[in-house]
Amino acid sequence: MATASGRTTMFRRPSGSLRAKLTLLYVGLLAILLLALGSFLYLETERFLETTTVVRLRAQAKPVVDGWLAMMETATLNREPSLDLASTATELSRALTSRETTAVVYDATGAELADGRRLPEEPLPAPADPAAISRALAGDNEVTYTVEVAGQRTLVALVPLRPEPDQDVVVGVVQLSTPLDLVDAILWRQRAMIGLGTLVTLVAGIVGGLWLTTSTLNPLGRMIGTCRRIAAGDLGQRVNLPHRTDEIGELAAAFDDMASQIETTFAGQRRFIADAAHELRTPVTALSGSLEVLLRGAQDNPDAANSLTQGMHRDLERLRRMLEQLLDLSALDAAATVDTATIELGAFVTSFTGLARTLAHERELRIEPGPAVTLLADPDRLERALANLVDNAAQHTAAGGAIRLGWQTGPGTVDIWVADDGEGISPADVPHLFDPFYRGDRSRSRRRGGTGLG
In 10 A of CB 206, how many CB atoms?
Answer: 15
Burial grade of 114 (CB within 10 A; 0-12, 13-18, 19 or more):
buried
Report how far Cα 251 is from the mean position of its chain's Cα atoms.
Answer: 13
124 Cβ contact partners less than 8 Å away, ≥ 6 residues apart: 102, 117, 149, 150, 154, 177
Residue 341 and residue 442: Cα distance in Å, rounded? 38
Q: What is the CATH number of domain 21-191?
A: 3.30.450.20
CATH 3.30.565.10 residue ranges for the chain:
337-423
Kindly calculate the radius of gyration of the chain based on its CA atoms and give it in whole angstroms. 51
Is the Cβ–Cβ distance between 137 and 151 less than 8 Å?
no
Give the separation between CA 297 and CA 300, rounded to whole angstroms: 6
How many residues in total does the chain contain?
A: 454
pLDDT at 335: 53
DSSP state of 401: -
Ranges of the chain whose pLDDT falls below 70: 1-16, 75-83, 165, 275-276, 279, 297-300, 325-326, 328-337, 432, 434-454
Dihedral of alpha carbons 83, 85, 89, 95, sign: positive
Q: Are 419 and 386 in contact (CB under 8 A)?
A: no
Burial class (CB in 10 A: 0-12, 13-18, 19+), 72: buried
> How far is it, in rounded angstroms, from Cα 175 to Cα 178?
10
Distance separating alpha carbons of residues 305 and 287, to the nearest angstrom:
13
Map residue 393 onto helix, strand or coil: helix
Beta bridge partners of 343: 375
Instruction: Supply the CATH classification number for the domain 337-423.
Output: 3.30.565.10
pTM higher than the cut 0.75: no
Domain with CATH 3.30.450.20 in the chain: 21-191
Buried b (16+ CB within 10 A) or exposed e, 321-359: bbeebeebbeeeeeeeeeeeeebebbebbeebeeebeeb
For position 216, what pLDDT does the model report? 78
